[in-house]
Structure 1
Amino acid sequence: MADKLKITLVKSPIGAVPKHKATVEALGLKKLHKTVEMPDNGAVRGMIANVRHLVKVEEI
């Protein structure tokens, strides 16, 4: 596993399930095409799995 993950919001969560909107917000993503770096652990991987259709993930 990589040390960190680069997570980019590529699709708007406007019409998404409220739980998915909350997950995107918890990842620290507020606007389209913004990127955050998060540690690569099980909790973050689980959050990404829930909103995989809204985000792009790169290992760094």
Structure 2
Amino acid sequence: MAQVRITQVRSTIKRPKTQKLAIQSLGLGKINRSIVLEYNPSIAGVINKVQHLVTIEHI
């Protein structure tokens, strides 16, 4: 499968707990932190939940 680079660009302050947990499950937590993951349906669902807090680049 393809890989994606996910970068957190907005803070989780004043966000619902489910969005905070989604960011943590991706391995993020601080602004401008990036991680490379395999793109699969489970990761796509988490990204969809926090798409306004992250940017996605296809590698």
- Common topology (TM > 0.5): yes
1:37 alignment counterpart: 36
Which structure 2 residue ranges, 5 or more long, are not aligned?
none
What's the TM-score once normalised by structure 1's chain length? 0.94
| CA–CA separation in structure 2 for the residues paired with 1:23 and 1:7 | 13
Secondary structure of the equivalent of 1:32?
coil
Q: Aligned pairs, how many?
A: 59
Query: How far does residue 48 in structure 1 lie from its aligned partner after superposition?
Result: 0.2
- Give the superposition deviation at 1:34: 0.6
For each residue in 1:8-48, what CA deviation from the matched residue of structure 2 results, as whole angstroms up to 9, or x when unmatched?
00000111110000000000002100100010100000000
Tell me the TM-score normalized by structure 2: 0.95
Unaligned 5+ segments in structure 1 are none
Distance 1:22 1:14 in 2: 12
One-letter amino acid of the counterpart of residue 31, structure 1: K
CA RMSD of aligned residues (A): 0.9
Q: List aligned pairs for 1:1-60, cutoff 5 A.
A: 3-60=2-59
